[in-house]
A = this chain, B = another copy of it.
Amino acid sequence: MARKRRVLPPDERKREILTAATEVFSAKGYRVASVNDILEAAGIARGTFYHYFDSKKEAFLELIEFYFSEFELVLEDCHDRLVAALDEGANVFDAWKDYALGVFRFHSENPKLTLLIYREAMSLDEHFSFRVDELADLGTTWIARDLDEMVGRGLIKTCDTSLIATIITGATVFLTLEYIVRRGTDDLETLATELAMNQVKALAPIELFLQPEGGV
């Protein structure tokens, strides 16, 4: 009675399902998206899904884990390049812009997954909160570490790097969601330039320009 039996190498089939799941989860959110939606999107039968995943949740977690591991690699790479650049005496702006570009590029290559992650990150579903807390911290932690590095080198002023990291993370996330995910812009260069410039100025070690009384 089976409609069609498309036999596929396990890995390929699994990837197909995960792609469909990304689509569906990012479009509807974890809760609203039903296994049915995924079946339809993937063009498979009910049983097939459960052959590859123990549950809807597990499929979702696999996507999250993928994002996490990839993003961590990106952050690691960005960090390495930042340190290398600073070691070579590059200016802060260029180094920082390069950093931002790396982050934006990663999200630009995975817009659906990005949307899915940030949605669910905020929604703090009891079942995922353990991972989600990590996510909230992941970017902030790396950035704070790199800010400390730069403060240590005297490239930026002494400051509450943790708080500034939160500011930068928020700015980055919102730019990503608004410009990359929502508007689908390709001009990551400009985005990175603006963000880097903004923070480089804000954190510049020289304080001359601010007069206590009167206009700036």
Asked if A126 is an interface residue, CB under 8 A from chain B, the answer is: yes
Q: How far is the CB of A7 from chain B (nearest CB, A)?
A: 11
Asked if A119 is an interface residue, CB under 8 A from chain B, the answer is: yes
Q: How far is the CB of A204 from chain B (nearest CB, A)?
A: 5
Q: How far is the CB of A206 from chain B (nearest CB, A)?
A: 5
Q: Would B126 and A32 count as touching, CB distance under 8 A?
A: yes
Q: Which of A1-26 contact B (CB under 8 A)?
A: 1, 9
Q: Would A93 and B174 count as touching, CB distance under 8 A?
A: no
Q: Would A160 and B216 count as touching, CB distance under 8 A?
A: no
| Closest residue on chain B to residue A137 by CB atoms | B178
Number of interface residues of A (CB under 8 A): 61
Q: Which of A29, A168, A173, A179 has the most CB of B within 10 A?
A: A29
Q: Would A216 and B170 count as touching, CB distance under 8 A?
A: no
| Closest residue on chain B to residue A86 by CB atoms | B215
Q: Would B126 and A123 count as touching, CB distance under 8 A?
A: no
Residue among B29, B93, B166, B175 making CB contact with A166, cutoff 8 Å:
B175
Q: How far is the CB of A48 from chain B (nearest CB, A)?
A: 14
1/0 per residue, CB under 8 A from B, across A109-142: the answer is 0000000001111111110000000001000100
Asked if A91 is an interface residue, CB under 8 A from chain B, the answer is: yes
| Closest residue on chain B to residue A154 by CB atoms | B215
13 other A-B residue contacts (CB within 8 Å) besides A118-B122, A206-B209: A31-B123, A31-B125, A32-B125, A92-B216, A155-B216, A160-B194, A163-B191, A166-B171, A170-B174, A200-B216, A201-B204, A201-B209, A205-B216
7 A-B pairs with least C-beta separation? A170-B174, A31-B31, A170-B170, A122-B122, A202-B202, A167-B171, A123-B123
Interface pairs (5), CB distance under 8 Å: A91-B216, A92-B216, A163-B191, A166-B171, A167-B175
Q: Which residues of A contact B (CB under 8 A)?
A: 1, 9, 28-29, 31-32, 89, 91-93, 118-126, 136, 140, 154-156, 160, 163-164, 166-175, 178-179, 191, 194-195, 197-206, 208-216
